[in-house]
Structure 1
Amino acid sequence: MNKKPLLDYIHNYINLTVEEETILFSKLIYRNYLKDQYIVQQGDVCKSINFIVSGSTKTFYVDTEGQEHIVVFSIEDWWTSDLGSFMTQKPADFNVQCLENTQLFQFTFNNLEELYIEIPKLERLFRKIVERAFVASQKRIVRNFSLTAKERYQIFRNTYPKIEQRVPQYMIASYLGITKEFLSKIKSQLIQNQ
């Protein structure tokens, strides 16, 4: 179990003593998931918020016609969960599925509540995580309303170059809200314009 990625992430926001680190890891679950395994399924209550040590996931929902809509990809040093379900402990709107074999640390709802009491500064850390997620979500909504598919793809490619190398094109198209054929056309245009 490699604790360093999580500790490095946490230390960007707060400092923990050795004793606090021991308390923290006593409450965490370290899990290995296989490619295609689900961490959360739509309709189930999300039991954990997850820090990815290695691997990648997609968060998506399936509409009534069976169409998959990808909301976010997550890779190393990122968090993945159905945050709304986790916070309310109500059924999940989203699925979280592993795109690769994935290792992660899981904070269960009850353990996180206990950690807030035992290490109060962890509340600041998770407030910052939720704030960042909220801002990213708002920016994505505005981009979807105001930018062309080509512009959205260029932003995706520039913002998340590591993800594009690891995710199939049809999934990127789903994330952008376009067909894989239209994404291929956009990519061809960009190559021609170079």
Structure 2
Amino acid sequence: MSNAFLEHRAKYREVVSRRYGVTPELYDEASRLLAPLTSAFSLRKGEYLQRIGTPAQYVHWLHSGVARTGFITEAGNEVTLHFQTDGDAVGAHDDLLRAREAEPALNFVVAETAIHGFRLDWMEVLNLYRGNTNLRDYYLGAAQRSIMDQSRRLYLNASPAQGRLIAFRREYPGLEQRISQKVVASFLGITPQYMSQLLRQDGSKA
């Protein structure tokens, strides 16, 4: 299984190392160190990679498919934080930090399509990070990227709905065709009805 993980990771070497702000060599080293911890997994659409209320247990690396991370408001509304697709690591970073103290997750991660990839036990990964400087540097790059993504999400929320839709399409090119309109509306923070209105307006401009 290690070889399959390494082969898949190699496809995203340049993209992910640039995203995390690490060298391709550090990316390769992290891949080699993590490979022995991986096991393959597959889930159907609607199945959960992580549930609210229990400590996060795994980090996932997607080979194919779309996963969605979000939370439930006190009013019972579902809010989508971000999506993960082919070549992305999957796991709510704040929940992984909570898991170190066995605290329950506040976010869910669900398969929006059938997904396939590799699963790593978070505590095993954490122990490996603690004992390896290179892996800690890689993790720092990933954590910094997570913070930047969260900050961008806050700025996005302050934009008009049409601007949020444009930003969504820019950040996730082609994703709109792979997921439901209701889920896109959840990410934009609008109702499905208003989403339909936006799409009609968008179509009239074409």
Contiguous gaps of at least 5 residues in structure 2: none
Inter-partner Cα distance in structure 1 for 2:138 and 2:30: 14
Residue of structure 2 equivalent to 1:65: 75
* Range with greater deviation from structure 2 (59-68 or 131-140): 59-68
Q: What is residue 35 of structure 2 aligned with on the other side?
A: 25
Unpaired runs of at least 5, structure 1:
none
Partner residue in 1 for 2:169: 157
Structure 2 equivalent of residue 180 of structure 1? 192
Question: Structure 2 matches for 1:8-157, cutoff 5 A?
Answer: 8-9=11-12, 12=17, 13-14=22-23, 15=25, 23-89=33-99, 90-117=103-130, 119-145=132-158, 147-157=159-169
DSSP-derived class of the 2:116 partner: strand
Cα pair 2:60 2:119 within 8 Å, conserved: yes
Shift of 1:6: 2.0
The separation in 1 between residues aligned to 2:28 and 2:69, in whole angstroms, is: 34
Which of 3, 6, 9 pairs up with 1:6? Answer: 9
**Deviation, structure 1 residue 21:** 5.4
Cα distance in 2, alignment partners of residues 119 and 159 from structure 1: 33
- Are the counterparts in 2 of residues 49 and 83 from structure 1 also a CA contact under 8 Å? no
Partner of 2:183: 171
How far apart are the structure 1 equivalents of 2:166 and 2:172? 10
Q: Which residue of 2 aligns with 1:192?
A: 204
1:66 shift after superposition? 2.8
Local SS of the residue matching 2:41: strand
1:26-53, Cα deviation, whole Å (9 max, x unpaired): 1223222222111110011001222111
Contact 1:73 1:163 in 2 (8 A): no
Residue identity matched to 2:177: Q
How far is the alpha carbon of 1:183 from its aligned partner?
1.3
CA distance in 2, matches of 1:191, 1:37: 33
Is the 2:62–2:117 contact (alpha carbons within 8 Å) kept by the matching residues of 1? yes
CA deviations over 1:37-82 (Å, ceiling 9, x no partner)? 1111001100122211111111121223332111111111112212
Question: What amino acid maps onto 2:143 in structure 1?
Answer: V
Count residues in correspondence: 193
Whether contact under 8 Å (2:34, 2:125) holds in the other structure is: no
